[in-house]
Amino acid sequence: KNEVEQSPQNLTAQEGEFITINCSYSVGISALHWLQQHPGGGIVSLFMLSSGKKKHGRLIATINIQEKHSSLHITASHPRDSAVYICAVNRDGGATNKLIFGTGTLLAVQP
Amino acid sequence: DVKVTQSSRYLVKRTGEKVFLECVQDMDHENMFWYRQDPGLGLRLIYFSYDVKMKEKGDIPEGYSVSREKKERFSLILESASTNQTSMYLCASSPLGGRYNEQFFGPGTRLTVL
């Protein structure tokens, strides 16, 4: 079993829909990251959080440390949001900066 | 902005060839990483380096080696390429210090071994 699990693996939405991607992890962590990868492109960091909630534009990330769960929400989705979204964690007590990755969620937003 | 560059976006090599993948970062970061990304498996750490000439094995180091002679450059070497090394290779860097830090990724090199 992977230490970081994401759901769903694939998601198709219509433009304007509210989208939620989930991430569960089974290890103690010091931080959780949400990353975005466009087709053929590199990976960019969207959020890094260790508690609570962060918001950037139409994107919201939440984390519940007790339940070992995080969600990434996209409000008013747009075709340009189509990408792979990856959850990753820094293991608590582990080597600084090493990340454990989920397998990603492929999101397609149709116009 | 942090910039991480990789020497090639696409590379085709033959089985048994020696392959060099190069990564350069311009933000004076101490940590550098090499990952491979495969469908259904996500990103897996091959090697990382936390200083010049320092390296540590990741989760899947077999068949790979690395070199870090200068702080800004981290090279991944496939001594004798095999077809099962066909993959997307991603380099990343991050600053040292703190309990956690954002990693900055390069654009990736899609390697095909025939």
The string of DSSP codes covering B83-99 is: GGG-EEEEEEEE-S-SS
How does pLDDT run across B54-69, given as a tens digit for each residue? 999 999 999 999 999 9
Instruction: Report the residue of B8, B36, B43 to disrupt the A interface, i.e. the one with the largest count of A CBs within 10 Å.
Output: B43
Q: What is the dihedral of CA A37, B98, B27, B66, to 10 degrees?
A: -70
- Sequence-separated (6 or more) residues with CB below 8 Å from residue A28: A91, A92, A93
How does pLDDT run across B5-38, given as a tens digit for each residue? 999 999 999 999 999 999 999 989 999 999 999 9
Looking at residue B97, what is its pLDDT? 67
Cα–Cα dist B33/B12, whole Å: 22
Nearest to A98 by CA among A90, A87, A107: A90
B102 CB neighbours in chain A (<8 A) are 33, 45, 48
Looking at residue A56, what is its pLDDT? 94
Buried residues in A17-26 as b, exposed as e (16+ CB within 10 A): eebebebbbe
Q: Are B85 and B63 in contact (CB under 8 A)?
A: yes
Looking at residue B1, what is its pLDDT? 66
Looking at residue A43, what is its pLDDT? 93
How does pLDDT run across A15-50, given as a tens digit for each residue? 999 999 999 999 988 899 999 998 877 899 999 999
Please indicate whether, in this complex, the C-beta atoms of B103 and A45 are within 8 angstroms of each other: yes
In chain A, whose CA is at the least distance from the CA of B31? A97
- Classify strands A43-49 and A52-56 as parallel, antiparallel or unpaired: unpaired
Using an 8 Å CB-CB cutoff, list residues of chain A that contact chain B.
2, 30-31, 33, 40-45, 48, 50, 86, 88, 90, 95-99, 101-104
pLDDT over 90 at A96, yes or no: no
How does pLDDT run across A65-94, given as a tens digit for each residue? 999 999 999 999 999 999 999 999 988 766
Looking at residue B95, what is its pLDDT? 86
Please indicate whether, in this complex, the C-beta atoms of B103 and A97 are within 8 angstroms of each other: yes
φ and ψ at residue B11, rounded to 5 degrees: -145, 135
Instruction: Establish how many alpha carbons lie within 13 A of residue B5's alpha carbon, considering only the half-sphere containing its beta carbon.
Output: 8
Cα–Cα dist B19/B40, whole Å: 25
CA angle B48, B50, B51 (to 5 degrees): 125
Locate B105 and state its tokens.
Answer: 């990724």
